[in-house]
């Protein structure tokens, strides 16, 4: 029997997806996890009532979280992924032969196990020999490890539950220390559109701008997320993602993508006026 999955976007707006089947439901010590099969979006991973991944539009999210930093510095060798339990970010990273080591720190083994079983599209490369998967709190990991990475990707849930600390100043400071001298950090930076996510977006951007010499946000179009307009943060010790884009070097790698390309790489940093306004005076607003 099919039903409607409903996600609350605001007190006055909801998003409905017709489901065909409830494929998996579980409650871990951290969060509630559901996977539904749907006509429109394929299988969808829902955490605490919020769509995290859908088979239909995951390529947009995973292309943009991965290829933007990789085309800025295609010589990246060591990558840390925090969160990302569905495996989509790791899948994209494994397409780079030049990457030698990927450490993924995901707090919730139930997300990984469910993704391995029901979402092979995203989880298929979690067993790649270059991947070390640690089931641990990413906040604790960056505080304790002495490893240095060229790229840190924070592929987190929203700043509620276990994901809350992944938006804190303390965590960003620890990430900065774990990055090489030309290191880059990319984070899930929420949406500028609705009031609640816009507030989180402004807060996270301000903290990152106070931590890194360069911080920009870039946008992508994500049909299954609230408003469909979403941002990643690009924080860096050295590289400017637009000025330092290695267009020829990246294109020579021959990586086939469905959403990312080097024209879009430049375009995604060009922001609507209302988003620019929100980010004005960033360094003061922590
Ligand atoms: N694309 C998704 C989105 O933005 O909605 C996020 C993908 S991924 C499923 C997010 C993962 O972050 C979840 O599996 C969650 O368990 C993990 N996570 C949340 N807090 C974490 C923490 N403190 N350390 C490590 N992983 C964490």
Q: What is the whole-number distance in angstroms between the Cα of residue 65 and the centre of ligand 1?
A: 14
Q: What average pLDDT does the structure give for the chain?
A: 96
Residue boundaries of the structural domains of the chain? 3-54, 58-279
Looking at the predicted structure, is the pLDDT value of residue 281 above 80?
A: no
pTM of this structure: 0.97
**Per-residue confidence band for 29, with pLDDT thresholds at 50, 70 and 90:** very high
pLDDT digits (tens, 9 = 90+) for 182-196: 999 999 999 999 999
Instruction: Ligand 1, residue 165: give the atom nearest the CA.
Output: 23
Whether 263 is a known active-site residue: answer no
Ligand 1 lined by 88 (C-beta under 6 Å): no
Pick the catalytic residue from 63, 108, 150, 155.
155
pLDDT digits (tens, 9 = 90+) for 58-106: 999 999 999 999 999 999 999 999 999 999 999 999 999 999 999 999 9
**Do the domains 3-54 and 58-279 sit in the same CATH topology, yes or no?**
no
Ligand 1 lined by 190 (C-beta under 6 Å): no
Instruction: Ligand 1, residue 115: give the atom nearest the CA.
Output: 9
Please compute the mean of the pLDDT values over residues 207-230 and round it to a whole number. 97
| HSE toward the beta carbon, residue 254, CA cutoff 13 A | 1
**CATH number listed for the domain at residues 3-54:** 2.30.140.10
Contacts for 161-167 with beta carbons within 8 Å, 24 or more apart?
161/30, 161/31, 161/48, 162/30, 162/31, 162/107, 162/108, 162/137, 163/83, 165/137, 165/139, 166/82, 166/83, 166/138, 166/139, 167/200, 167/203, 167/204, 167/207
**What pLDDT is attached to residue 282?**
72
CA distance 67 to 91: 12
**Higher-confidence position of 193 and 282:** 193
**Local structure of residue 259 (DSSP, 8 states):** S
**Per-residue confidence band for 285, with pLDDT thresholds at 50, 70 and 90:** very low
CATH of 58-279, one of 3.40.50.150, 3.40.190.10, 3.40.50.2300, 3.20.20.70: 3.40.50.150
């Amino acid at each position: 029997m099919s039903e409607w999955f409903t996600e609350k976007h605001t007190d006055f707006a909801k998003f409905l997806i017709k489901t065909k089947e409830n494929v998996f439901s579980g409650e871990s010590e951290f969060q509630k996890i559901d996977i539904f099969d749907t006509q429109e979006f394929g299988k969808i991973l829902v955490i605490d009532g919020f769509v995290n991944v859908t088979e239909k539009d995951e390529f947009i999210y995973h292309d943009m979280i991965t290829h933007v930093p990789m085309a800025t510095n295609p010589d990246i060798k060591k990558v840390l992924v925090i969160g990302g339990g569905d495996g989509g970010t790791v899948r994209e990273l494994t397409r780079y032969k030049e990457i030698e080591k990927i450490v993924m720190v995901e707090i919730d083994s139930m997300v990984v196990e469910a993704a391995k079983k029901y979402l092979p599209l995203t989880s298929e490369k979690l067993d790649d020999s270059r991947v070390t998967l640690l089931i641990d709190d990413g906040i604790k990991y960056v505080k304790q490890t002495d490893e240095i990475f060229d790229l840190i990707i924070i592929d987190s849930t929203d700043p509620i539950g276990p994901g809350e600390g992944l938006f804190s100043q303390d965590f960003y400071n620890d990430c900065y220390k774990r990055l090489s001298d030309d290191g880059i950090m990319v984070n899930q930076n929420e949406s500028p559109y609705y009031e609640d996510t816009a507030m989180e977006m402004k807060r996270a951007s301000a903290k990152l701008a106070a931590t890194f010499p360069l911080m920009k946000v870039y946008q992508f179009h994500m049909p299954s997320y609230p408003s469909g307009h979403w941002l990643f943060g690009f924080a860096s010790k050295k590289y400017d993602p637009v000025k330092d884009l290695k267009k020829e070097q990246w294109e020579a790698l021959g990586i086939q993508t469905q959403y990312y390309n080097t024209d879009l790489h430049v375009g995604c940093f060009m922001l609507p006026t209302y988003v620019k306004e929100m980010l004005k005076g960033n360094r003061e607003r922590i």
